[in-house]
């Protein structure tokens, strides 16, 4: 009996070893690629090429679509900050996804909106909205009120209403910097190839002071869970994404702030309700469409455009968020399975997608099991001490290098925390994050993957506290 147990543990140990070594190798390669791209980009961007874009009249118009469900606390601030964006031609479409609170009422009150009967072209099948609100004195702003159908449905409704060639999805609780839209558009206008998606960075605003929809003071959050998330976001967005973008194999962009080409999205079928993370699914659908029609295109990610968002403050909310993300990732991967190992989709199919499927989705299950089984194996005697140390090193020690490197990248690029004390705290948490937080998040992610096989398809609700609002609303 003991013998069979040892054999089984031998096998699982081999799997864990393979996973850790493979994952760390890939992360290292991504890190090197990202260091190269991001630091050069930082030097390049130092002489502010975005001023030209603001003055240029050839910058195309953009529609900002804000799907909102029960966001009464944040929505007015968000719309005000969007109206203030430094961009020549934009329109703002707030899509109220069947909110049960006073989201729409607050907007109507603030901007004196009136219900109108405007033409609504159903390029994507959504059904007609319940109401459209507008005030000619704010010619850029439109508010649609649709029947509750989830975020993809709201986004599709916004797309139908939009009249610009590009649209940008914005989450209702996000704060966008005034230059961010210009920076998001820069890769589109500056590239010779058609760019259908342009993504930016998402950062955590917990702890910052926010007035009138703008960040006035940059500060670090106070609790450990938010600090760990801060480091984690920095690592993901400064290491993972630029690396894949350099290989032109982007698989995930953040839907919180992402620019897309409207016609391509419509032709690709719009946002679908099959998954809970429609932003990842959109990228996959676009790739399908472009490959099927053999069009050359680029999906771009740059580190300049920055969107600030609120991170969950409690473990319970964090768990829900991470479960949803992994559930969505699993759904997307399984739905788009014909991209896997398919050379027609270039490096995405050959590298990026297998990586996300096996080293992220399956990998987090493996890692969660490892967190439990490796100590068991050591105690039972199936693993000598040195192997145990090797695993500890791979799981914890190497991660500190990656996190620390990402803090350095953060320091090099344009945005940085002004006080040295902040950077020190970040570096400390870069190390601490690997002990405890990472394992906890891995377990949540594993739950998310397993939820897929248990049949779950939809969101668990995540409650927002709302970011600190200094200055009363309704002013």
Partner 1 sequence: MLYIEDLIVIVRWLALIVAIIDLVLVAYILLRRIARDRYYARKDAAHERFSVVVRQFGSGVSEMSHTVIALSKACTPAETAAVQELLIGSMTVENRERISDLLFQLGYVQTWAIQAFGRSRGKELMALITSGQPYAPAPKSWKQNFRKISRLRAFAVKRALPVAYFGHLAPRFAERLLAEALQDPSPYVTRPAVAALGKTLSPVAVPILLEQLRRASKGQSDIPVRAAKAALVRHSSGNLSEFLPFLESREERLRLLVVDTIREMLTSKPLLVADVPVELYDWFINHAVHDTSADVRARSAAVISRFHDRKSIDTLRALLCDEDEYVRLHSVRACADPFYSVMVEDLVGCMIDRRWRVREAAAKSLAAVGSAGARSLADFFLTTNDRYASEQIADELQRSGLIFQLVSMLGTSDLEADQAAAVCRKMAGMGMISLFSYLLQRDMPTPARNELTKILEACSAAQPESAGQQAPPPDDPTKNRTAPFLGTAVAPATTAAGD
Partner 2 sequence: MGISLLRNRAILGGILLLTLLGCWEFWWKPQYRPYYQSGQAQYLREDYAKALSSLKTAYAIEPNASELVTLLGWTHFKLRQPEKARYYFQRALKIEPGNEEAYLGMAALELNRGGKAETAGLERIMRKRPGDPDVMSLLAAAYVQDGKNSLGANLYRLLLADKNYRQNASEALEELFGLQGFSDPIPSSFAPLTRAENTRVPFRATENSMWRQESGNWQKYYVAGVNFGPGTPGFFGSDPPVDGKVYSTYLQQTWQMNANVMRVYTLLPPSFYRAFKDATEAGS
Q: How far is CA 427 from CA 32, 34, 229, 403, in A?
A: 19, 19, 13, 8
Task: Pick what 400 binds: partner 1, partner 2, none; C-beta below 5 to 8 Å, kind-dependent.
Answer: partner 1
| Minimal distance, residue 311 CB to partner 1, in Å | 23
Q: How far is CA 72 from CA 75, 84, 173, 280, 470, in A?
A: 6, 20, 10, 27, 16
376 Cα distance to chain centroid: 36
Angle ∠(452,457,463) on CA atoms, nearest 5: 110
| Residue 362 makes contact with partner 2 by CB under 8 A | yes
Which range of residues in 14-22, 247-255, 401-409, 466-474 is near partner 2 by CB under 8 A?
Answer: 14-22
Task: Kindly identify the residues of this chain, within the stretch 377-396, that bind partner 2 according to CB under 8 A.
Answer: 384-386
CB 267 within 8 A of CB 55: no
User: Other C-beta atoms within 10 Å of 16: how many?
Assistant: 21
| Beta strands 62-68; 90-97: pairing state | parallel
Alpha helices in 293-340, H assignment, sequence order: 315-335
Distance CA 282, CA 253 (A): 9
In a 13 Å sphere around the CA of 188, the CA atoms on its Cβ side amount to 26
Which of partner 2, partner 1, none does residue 10 bind to, with CB < 5 to 8 Å depending on kind? partner 2
Write out the DSSP string of 226-251: HHHHHHHHHHIIIIIHHHHHHTT---
138 binds, among partner 2, partner 1, none (CB under 5 to 8 A by kind): none
Among residue numbers 317 through 346, which ones bind partner 2 (CB under 8 A)? 333-334, 337-338, 340-341
| Among the listed residues 199, 206, 201, 197, the one whose alpha carbon sits nearest the alpha carbon of residue 233 | 201
Q: Which of partner 2, partner 1, none is residue 471 near (CB under 5 to 8 Å by kind)?
A: none
Q: State the nearest-atom distance from the C-beta of 456 to partner 1, in Å.
A: 31
160 or 336, CB closer to partner 1?
160
Residue whose C-alpha is closest to residue 233's, from 181, 303, 183, 168: 303
How far apart CA 111 and CA 474 sit, in angstroms, is 10
Of partner 1, partner 2, none, which one does residue 340 interact with (CB within 5 to 8 Å by kind)? partner 2
Retrieve residue 281's tokens.
């699914």
Q: Is 469 in the site for partner 2 (CB under 8 A)?
A: no
Q: How far is the CB of 213 from partner 1 (least distance, A)?
A: 26
Of 17, 347, 369, 387, the residue at the interface with partner 1 (CB under 8 A) is 387
* Of the candidate residues 5, 390, 414, 425, the single one contacting partner 1 (CB under 8 A): 390
Burial class (CB in 10 A: 0-12, 13-18, 19+), 4: exposed
Tell the smallest beta-carbon distance from residue 251 to partner 1 (Å): 23
Residues numbered 392 to 411 that lie near partner 1 (CB under 8 A) are: 393, 397-398, 400-401, 404-405, 407-408, 411
Q: List binders of partner 1 among 236-255 (CB under 8 A).
A: none
Which range in 67-75, 260-268, 342-350, 391-399 contacts partner 1 by CB under 8 A?
391-399
- Does the protein bind partner 1 through residue 58 (CB under 8 A)? yes
Q: Is 461 in the site for partner 1 (CB under 8 A)?
A: no
State the residues that interact with partner 2 by CB under 8 A.
7, 10-11, 14-15, 18, 333-334, 337-338, 340-341, 354, 357-358, 362, 384-386, 455
State the residues that interact with partner 1 by CB under 8 A.
36-37, 40, 43-44, 46-47, 49, 52, 55-58, 114-122, 127-132, 134, 136-137, 139, 189-192, 384-387, 389-390, 393, 397-398, 400-401, 404-405, 407-408, 411, 420, 423, 427, 431
């Amino acid at each position: 009996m003991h013998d069979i147990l040892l054999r089984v543990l031998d096998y699982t140990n081999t799997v864990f070893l393979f996973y850790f070594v493979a994952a760390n190798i890939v992360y290292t390669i991504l890190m090197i690629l990202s260091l190269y791209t991001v630091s050069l980009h930082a030097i390049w961007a130092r002489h502010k090429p975005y001023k030209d874009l603001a003055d240029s009249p050839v910058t195309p118009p953009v529609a900002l679509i804000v799907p909102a469900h029960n966001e009464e606390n944040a929505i007015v601030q968000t719309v005000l900050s969007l109206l203030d964006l430094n961009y020549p031609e934009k329109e703002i479409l707030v899509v109220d996804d069947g909110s049960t609170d006073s989201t729409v009422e607050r907007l109507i009150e603030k901007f004196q909106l009136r219900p109108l009967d405007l033409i609504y072209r159903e390029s994507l099948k959504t059904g007609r909205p319940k109401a459209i609100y507008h005030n000619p004195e704010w010619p850029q702003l439109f508010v649609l009120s649709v029947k509750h159908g989830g975020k993809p449905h709201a986004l599709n409704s916004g797309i139908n209403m939009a009249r610009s060639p590009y649209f940008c999805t914005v989450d209702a609780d996000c704060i966008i910097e005034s230059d961010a839209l210009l920076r998001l558009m820069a890769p589109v206008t500056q590239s010779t190839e058609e760019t259908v998606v342009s993504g930016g960075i998402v950062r955590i605003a917990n702890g910052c002071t926010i007035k009138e929809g703008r960040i006035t003071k940059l500060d670090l959050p106070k609790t450990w869970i938010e600090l760990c998330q801060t480091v984690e976001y920095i690592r993901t967005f400064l290491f993972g994404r630029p690396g894949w973008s350099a290989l032109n194999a982007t698989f995930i962009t953040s839907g919180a702030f992402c620019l897309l080409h409207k016609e391509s999205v419509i032709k690709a079928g719009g946002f679908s309700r099959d998954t809970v993370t429609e932003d990842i699914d959109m990228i996959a659908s676009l790739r399908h469409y472009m490959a099927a029609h053999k069009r050359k295109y680029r999906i771009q990610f740059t580190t300049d455009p920055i969107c600030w968002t609120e991170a969950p403050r409690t473990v319970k909310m964090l768990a829900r968020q991470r479960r949803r993300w992994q559930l969505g990732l699993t759904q997307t991967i399984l739905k788009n399975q014909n991209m896997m190992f398919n050379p027609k989709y270039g490096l995405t199919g050959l590298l990026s997608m297998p990586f996300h499927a096996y080293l992220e989705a399956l990998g987090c299950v493996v890692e969660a099991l490892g967190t439990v089984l490796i100590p068991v194996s050591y105690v039972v005697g199936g693993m000598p001490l040195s192997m145990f140390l090797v695993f500890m090193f791979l799981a914890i020690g190497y991660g500190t290098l990656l996190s620390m490197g990402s803090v350095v990248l953060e320091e090099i690029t344009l945005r940085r925390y002004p006080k040295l004390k902040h950077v020190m705290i970040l570096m400390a948490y870069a190390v601490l994050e690997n002990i405890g937080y990472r394992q906890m998040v891995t377990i949540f992610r594993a739950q998310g993957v397993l939820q897929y096989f248990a049949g779950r398809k939809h969101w668990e609700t995540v409650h927002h506290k709302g970011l600190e609002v200094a200055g009363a609303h309704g002013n």
